[in-house]
Amino acid sequence: MSTLGKDLRRVLRTDQVLDLAEDVSAYANDATYYIAKKNPDAVALPESTADVSAILKLASLNVIPVVPRGAGSGLAGGCTPVHGGIVIDMKRMNNIIEIDNRNMSATVEGGVVLGNFVKKVERMGLFYPPDPQSSQVCTIGGNIATRAGGPRGVKYGTTERYVTGVEAVMADGTVITPGGKVVKQSSGYDLTHLFTGSEGTLCVITRGMLRLLPLPPSKRTIVVACTNIDQAAGIVSEIIARGAVPAMLEFLANIAIMTMNNYIKPPIPVNGEAFLLMELDGSEAQLDVESVEIEDVCRSLGALEIRIIKNPEESETYWYARSRLYPLLTSVLKRVITEDITVPRNKLPELVRRIQGIAVSSGVLIGLAGHAGDGNLHPTILMGDIGEEMSRKAEHAIEEIIKAGIDLDGTISGEHGIGIHKSRFLELEHGSEQVAIMKSVKKALDPLNIMNPGKIWMEEGGNC
């Protein structure tokens, strides 16, 4: 039993603390298994806000690093405990405290699994749009901490748009509740949205107050086969320019569709170099009008084939396959590195062209898929070989992709966050003045630097 474990057992029950090597090793990284691994010294499993506060009081008294963790599905190394210390595993704080259908709002604990919450609100005819493709496991606390998005970002925006308030435990154990159940607030600094996207570096989010919408009555899936990637990017841009806004608009290179065909029923012919997968939602009359508009754009730009799928079971297989794409790729390749570039939507065709050029010049295989409707691409380095030379080429390709995104007025992360994976590029995007402001906010709220140290920006000498 470690000393830290003993100390934690003074403020929590014995079964709320893990400190054996075989238990804590499960907390050494997130879904970016290839970036860095480090065991925490202990894991705490709080069951209440008071527990979280007690853990943080202990940590700040002894200057021990604390890393909040939801499901560990992050794709940036955000909950990897690079300095050891305590991982706070939020999984036991999984209560849906209230669904207030008269106010169209909900209050949930940070460890609530997104998919469970979505099922519950949909049974009540309500709708919570944020839909990271990890919804079966990821937590709402993790979504808030990363400003998670997903395919529906194109029409509905990402998590921050649905967070009206949080309960947060600060580094010294103080509990605060900025925001609330109101859908507008113009009173003081907006701490709710400072914490939204703070990646565990400012506080532990123990509760989220969320905004709900009415559940759209109908939906319809459209699949478009395109001659080439350039044409697909052009169609996305034109659909957006015409103001037809699908609820989801996914861009998939043929390698992605080939992989997804494991789940698409019946599988579709992979007759194009790229595909667009869309979902429209709304009333049937609205869906008819939007389908015609989208078909018109696709035909006028020379798409190979347009399939409108009205059978809900068949549609479901496409979206299930989409959500399984990343795990499917990781099961057949030695390493899969997903980037998260987002550019203004009219610059998507240019981004795609540049990434194709980078694949050729750097000699790495780059799969293209992403939530293209909101300009968010996930260029994915697909590695069957992880030898030194190939890893060097992959690093070079990542750098070039990042630079291309910034050069096109984009951002290095549309939804995954920075964590450690992209920390070396933060200043390239924001400039040193903005990063200095971010650091001074961090210093004001966490002067001992105990909250998830080593994340978002580079530490002196590197992050891990």
Ligand X SMILES: Cc1cc2nc3c(=O)[nH]c(=O)nc-3n(C[C@H](O)[C@H](O)[C@H](O)COP(=O)(O)OP(=O)(O)OC[C@H]3O[C@@H](n4cnc5c(N)ncnc54)[C@H](O)[C@@H]3O)c2cc1C
User: What is the residue type of 285?
Assistant: A
Q: List binders of ligand X among 53-112 (CB under 6 A).
A: 67-75, 78-79, 90, 110
Residues 6+ apart with CB under 8 A from 211: 104, 105, 161, 162, 163, 164, 183
Nearer to ligand X, 33 or 293 (CB): 33
Residues touching ligand X, count (CB under 6 A) = 38
CA distance 239 to 297: 7
Q: Does 200 bind ligand X (CB under 6 A)?
A: yes
The correct pick among 49, 423, 452, 463 for binding ligand X (CB under 6 A) is: 452
Q: Does 272 bind ligand X (CB under 6 A)?
A: no
Nearer to ligand X, 43 or 90 (CB): 90
Q: Does 149 bind ligand X (CB under 6 A)?
A: yes
Q: Does 134 bind ligand X (CB under 6 A)?
A: yes
Nearer to ligand X, 53 or 452 (CB): 452
Q: Which residue has the tokens 């939801």?
A: 70
207 bridge partner residues: 109, 167
Q: Does 326 bind ligand X (CB under 6 A)?
A: yes
Nearer to ligand X, 132 or 373 (CB): 132
Helices (H) and strands (E) in the chain, counts: 15, 20
Distance of closest approach, residue 330 Cβ to ligand X, in angstroms = 8
Distance of closest approach, residue 285 Cβ to ligand X, in angstroms = 30
The correct pick among 56, 58, 171, 204 for binding ligand X (CB under 6 A) is: 204
The correct pick among 143, 164, 362, 413 for binding ligand X (CB under 6 A) is: 143
Q: Does 199 bind ligand X (CB under 6 A)?
A: yes
Nearer to ligand X, 234 or 370 (CB): 370
Distance of closest approach, residue 300 Cβ to ligand X, in angstroms = 30
Query: CB–CB of 328/259 below 8 Å?
Result: yes
Residue 73 CB neighbour total at 10 angstroms: 22
User: What is the residue type of 14?
Assistant: T
In this structure, the chain runs to a length of 464
The correct pick among 322, 416, 422, 442 for binding ligand X (CB under 6 A) is: 416
Q: Give, for 351, the enclosing helix (H) or strand (E).
A: helix 348-362
CA distance 287 to 246: 9
Which among 195, 57, 159, 176 is positioned nearest to 416, based on CA atoms? Answer: 159
Q: Does 205 bind ligand X (CB under 6 A)?
A: yes
CA distance 87 to 308: 47
Question: With b meaning 16 or more CB within 10 Å and e meaning fewer, what string describes 276-313?
Answer: bbbbbbbeeeebeebbeebeebbeebebbebeebeeee
Distance of closest approach, residue 163 Cβ to ligand X, in angstroms = 12
Distance of closest approach, residue 165 Cβ to ligand X, in angstroms = 14
Q: Does 148 bind ligand X (CB under 6 A)?
A: yes
Distance of closest approach, residue 106 Cβ to ligand X, in angstroms = 16
Q: Does 132 bind ligand X (CB under 6 A)?
A: yes
User: Which stretch in 307-315, 346-354, 396-404, 415-423 sits in contact with ligand X by CB under 6 A?
Assistant: 415-423
Continuous H helices in 133-172 = 140-146, 153-156
Residues 6+ apart with CB under 8 A from 304: 225, 226, 227, 271, 272
The correct pick among 138, 209, 233, 303 for binding ligand X (CB under 6 A) is: 138
Distance of closest approach, residue 129 Cβ to ligand X, in angstroms = 12
Residues 6+ apart with CB under 8 A from 39: 21, 24, 25, 27, 28, 81, 84
Site map for ligand X, 31-60, x if CB under 6 A?
Answer: x-----------------------------
Structure token digits, residue 397: 């390709």
The correct pick among 217, 269, 327, 363 for binding ligand X (CB under 6 A) is: 327
The correct pick among 16, 49, 105, 146 for binding ligand X (CB under 6 A) is: 146
User: Which stretch in 19-27, 129-137, 230-238, 382-390 sits in contact with ligand X by CB under 6 A?
Assistant: 129-137
Helices 312-323 and 325-332 meet at what angle, rounded to 10? Answer: 50
The strand order across the sheet containing 380-383 reads 335-338, 380-383, 365-367
Site residues (vs ligand X, CB under 6 A):
30-31, 67-75, 78-79, 90, 110, 132-134, 138-139, 141-143, 145-146, 148-150, 199-200, 204-205, 326-327, 415-416, 419, 452
